[in-house]
């Protein structure tokens, strides 16, 4: 069979299995090594926060690997193949996100010494809001997010011929093994290993594509001729799926919600030994994100150059658009034993890194937000057993959710939409508490509920009635060069409508679209998070004003963002002592701060020259 002309592809060879199994054993080995290395410090702080002794470089790589998952490995190239290089503009969003997170959220969370992000919600508002925030995170991560992450596994496996359930069970067992035994340190160092594997997989695809097509210049020229390089669309229409504004504005806020308040990410940078290291980890993360998204997008362009005359999806060679890259790998690299195994290992490594991060974060919030408040006299040994038991529980939950993942559609957009719908209102709640001293718990709770209702309304509506092609702008493709065709009942000008029809199998029909379908439900998925944030803050401020605001004499003064937090003004004060007068003035102990199990040996400076002005504002 000639490459790029359609038809069946080869299955895994023995050497591919060797490479794949080697990756699995390598990840498990790192976890076991960290478990043995840290066996003398078997406490909750060590398990959940790595003893707060991590440095910037491994944490930066872990931050990148945590959300640059198997979804990125197979979803982003498919995105570039279908819609061009628009997705690369996210590089700007990543930079904006890292700066906002490093300069606003990191100093606040770091000096409070929290283990669970949602401890802040109880400090600032009340226990009910903390429980609601934690519950939203657990639902989002353990059920919805993990389901989509695991969706990358069956998409790869179905093309390579590997046994689906064998791979899924292996994913769960390996994650359970090193999460249970090694804790956060094992997760971070395994992420570093998996990050290298992911990047190597992209490089292999691009290098082989360049050889087949006669150089990178030929790939670039093919994409230019096919309209794949027109990235900058400055149309302000909020209904268009991807424009410069939806990606930079909406995408930045969406990624801020992921990195600034999501437990999986926060838990990493607060494990750093100093505030300076925590900030540097986020700035280093920019480089990792840029490199990953650039290689992923160029892999998609390479795929287009090879399949520009014979689209495997329209031709019936693959059953879902997210199977395009695995199909390309087996089509172009099967002649090199072990290399297809490297690519599948890349997608698999992305899945392992995200699932393991999720398991560790779920254990942290469950213990800190549900177990400790109820069982206050637990010993370190008891907490350690609870941590390991919960790791096993959430690991098996991930395996169970993988069965649902195979029913999902385009995993990239679906996963980001989910984060927008749920994280947007949560981000609004944090912003409300961090910047407005008049906001009270009634306003915060009301804003959160209204924001969540609004985002779920538009998000679910968009899934039932997907936007039409004039808003998504799929680029043309051809099957003129295929050796054979199967079931070609769809126009080659917009073959992705077929994907939408399959994905929308639970809706009535496209001819029966309500009036909101082409307006409200067509809102770009990247604006879901921004919408939820704005609604939550606005409603929260209005309701707080109506209900009398917040009594300033009851406020903890260290719960707000200060000028000295910005641009490392306080980075040199990491080890200075807490001011006892501020704690006394706040009317409560830092029970979740310096007394926290993960921070019991460290204290933080929260003295600020502006702090005396708080009650005057």
Residue 583 has pLDDT above 60, yes or no: no
Question: Which residue did the predictor score with more confidence, 3 or 457?
Answer: 457
Mean predicted confidence (pLDDT) in 513-523: 83
CA distance 268 to 57: 12
C-alpha angle with apex 289: 56 to 244, nearest 5 degrees?
135
Q: How far apart are the first and last CA of the chain?
A: 74
User: What pLDDT does 590 receive?
Assistant: 37
User: What pLDDT does 453 receive?
Assistant: 94
Predicted confidence band of residue 55 (pLDDT cuts 50, 70, 90): confident
Q: Is residue 483 part of a domain?
A: no
CA distance 568 to 574: 11
Phi-psi region of 408 (alpha: psi -120 to 50; beta: other; left: phi over 0): beta
For the chain, the 3-state helix, strand and coil shares in percent, each to the nearest 5, are: 70, 0, 30
Domain count, the chain: 1
Q: Is residue 518 part of a domain?
A: no
Q: Is residue 251 part of a domain?
A: yes
Question: Among 71-80, 422-431, 456-465, 562-571, which range has the highest average pLDDT?
Answer: 422-431
User: What pLDDT does 541 receive?
Assistant: 95
Lowest pLDDT segment from 2-11, 121-130, 348-357, 390-399: 348-357
Q: Report the DSSP beta bridge partners of residue 54.
A: 272
Lowest pLDDT segment from 3-7, 196-200, 586-590: 586-590
Percent residues over pLDDT 70 in the chain: 70
Residue 50 has pLDDT above 60, yes or no: no
Mean predicted confidence (pLDDT) in 96-112: 90
Q: How high is the mean pLDDT of the chain?
A: 76
pTM assigned to the model: 0.79
Q: Is residue 557 part of a domain?
A: no
Q: Is residue 418 part of a domain?
A: yes
Percent residues over pLDDT 90 in the chain: 20
Predicted confidence band of residue 394 (pLDDT cuts 50, 70, 90): confident
Predicted confidence band of residue 448 (pLDDT cuts 50, 70, 90): very high
Residue 167 has pLDDT above 60, yes or no: yes
C-alpha angle with apex 394: 388 to 395, nearest 5 degrees?
85
Residue 503 has pLDDT above 60, yes or no: no
CA distance 286 to 554: 39
Q: Is residue 532 part of a domain?
A: no
Predicted confidence band of residue 3 (pLDDT cuts 50, 70, 90): confident
For 199, the domain range is 14-471
Mean predicted confidence (pLDDT) in 119-128: 90
Q: Is residue 336 part of a domain?
A: yes
The dihedrals phi and psi of 230, each to the nearest 5 degrees, come to -85, 85
Residue 51 sits in a domain whose CATH number is: 1.20.1730.10
Q: Is residue 446 part of a domain?
A: yes
Mean predicted confidence (pLDDT) in 487-516: 46
User: What pLDDT does 91 receive?
Assistant: 92
Burial of residue 2 (number of CB atoms within 10 Å: 0-12, 13-18, 19+): exposed
């Amino acid at each position: 069979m000639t490459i790029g002309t359609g038809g069946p592809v080869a299955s895994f060879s023995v050497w591919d299995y060797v490479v794949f199994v080697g990756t699995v054993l390598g990840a498990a080995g790192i976890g076991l090594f960290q478990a043995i290395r840290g066996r003398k410090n078997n406490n909750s702080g060590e398990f959940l926060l790595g003893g707060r002794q991590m440095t910037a470089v491994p944490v930066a790589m872990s931050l990148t690997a945590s959300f640059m998952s198997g979804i990125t490995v197979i979803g982003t190239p498919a995105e570039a193949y279908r819609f061009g290089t628009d997705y690369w503009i996210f590089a700007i969003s990543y930079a904006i996100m890292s700066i906002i997170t490093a300069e606003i959220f990191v100093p606040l969370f770091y000096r409070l010494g929290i283990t669970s992000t949602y401890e802040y919600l109880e400090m600032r508002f009340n226990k009910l809001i903390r429980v609601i925030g934690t519950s939203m995170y657990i639902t989002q991560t353990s059920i919805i997010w993990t389901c989509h992450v695991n969706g990358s596994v069956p998409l790869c496996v179905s093309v390579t011929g590997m046994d689906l359930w064998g791979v899924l069970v292996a994913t769960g067992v390996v994650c359970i093994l090193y999460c249970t035994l090694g804790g956060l340190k094992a997760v971070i160092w395994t992420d570093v290993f998996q990050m290298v594997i992911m990047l190597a997989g992209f490089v292999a695809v691009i290098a082989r594509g360049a050889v087949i097509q006669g150089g990178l210049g030929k790939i670039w020229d093919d994409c230019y001729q096919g309209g794949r390089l027109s990235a900058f669309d400055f149309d302000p229409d909020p209904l268009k799926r991807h424009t410069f504004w939806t990606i930079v504005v909406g995408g930045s806020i969406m990624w801020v919600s992921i990195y600034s308040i999501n437990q999986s990410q926060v838990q990493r940078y607060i494990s750093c030994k100093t505030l300076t290291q925590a900030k540097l980890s986020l700035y280093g993360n920019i480089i990792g994100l840029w490199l990953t998204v650039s290689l992923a997008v160029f892999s998609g362009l390479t795929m287009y150059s090879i399949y520009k005359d014979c689209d495997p999806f329209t031709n019936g060679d693959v059953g879902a658009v997210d199977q395009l890259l695995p199909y390309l790998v087996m089509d172009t690299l099967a002649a090199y034993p072990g290399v297809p195994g490297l690519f599948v290992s890349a997608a698999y490594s992305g899945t392992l890194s995200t699932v393991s991060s999720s398991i560790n974060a779920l254990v942290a919030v469950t213990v800190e937000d549900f177990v400790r408040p109820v069982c206050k006299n637990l010993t370190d040994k008891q907490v350690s057993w609870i941590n390991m038991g919960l790791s096993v529980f959430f690991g098996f939950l991930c395996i169970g959710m993988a069965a649902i993942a195979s029913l999902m559609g385009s995993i990239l957009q679906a996963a980001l939409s989910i984060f927008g719908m749920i994280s947007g209102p949560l981000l609004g709640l944090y912003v409300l508490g961090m910047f407005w001293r008049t906001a009270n718990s009634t306003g915060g709770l009301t804003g959160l509920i209204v924001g969540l209702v609004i985002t779920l309304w538009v998000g679910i509506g968009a899934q039932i009635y997907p936007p039409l092609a004039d808003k998504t702008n799929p680029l043309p493709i051809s099957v003129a060069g295929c050796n054979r065709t199967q079931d070609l009942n769809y126009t080659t000008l917009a073959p992705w409508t077929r994907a939408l029809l399959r994905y929308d199998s639970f809706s009535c029909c496209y001819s029966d679209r309500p009036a909101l379908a082409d307006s409200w439900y067509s809102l770009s998925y990247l604006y879901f998070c921004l919408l939820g944030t704005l609604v939550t803050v606005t409603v929260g401020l209005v309701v707080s004003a109506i209900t009398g605001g917040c009594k300033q004499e009851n406020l903890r003064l260290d719960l707000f963002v200060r000028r000295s937090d910005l641009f490392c003004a306080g980075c040199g004060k990491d080890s200075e002592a807490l001011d006892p007068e501020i704690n006394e003035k706040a009317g409560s102990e830092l029970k979740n701060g310096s007394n926290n199990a993960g921070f019991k040996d460290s204290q933080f400076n929260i003295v600020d020259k502006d702090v005396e002005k708080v009650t005057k504002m």
